[in-house]
Amino acid sequence: MVLITGGGRGIGAGTSKLFASKGYAVCINYKSTSASAEALAQDMGLLQK
């Protein structure tokens, strides 16, 4: 499992995508708004309910 702080956009988003592509479970952390983190997770098929 990998925790990416600021993983919803910019370099963090790229890092999140890299680890997800390698098969890691990715936890995306964000500071103020969840929109970009949720969109990234949905695009990568990572959202779990």
Give the integer Cα–Cα distance in Å for 21 and 16: 9
How confident is residue 31, by pLDDT bands cut at 50, 70 and 90? confident
For the residues 20-39, what does the mean pLDDT come to?
87
**pLDDT top residue among 45 and 40:** 40
β-strands 2-5, 26-29 pairing: parallel
Residue 47 has pLDDT above 70, yes or no: no
This prediction's pTM: 0.77
Which residues have CB under 8 Å from 42's CB, separation 6+? none
Pick 33 or 47 by higher pLDDT: 33
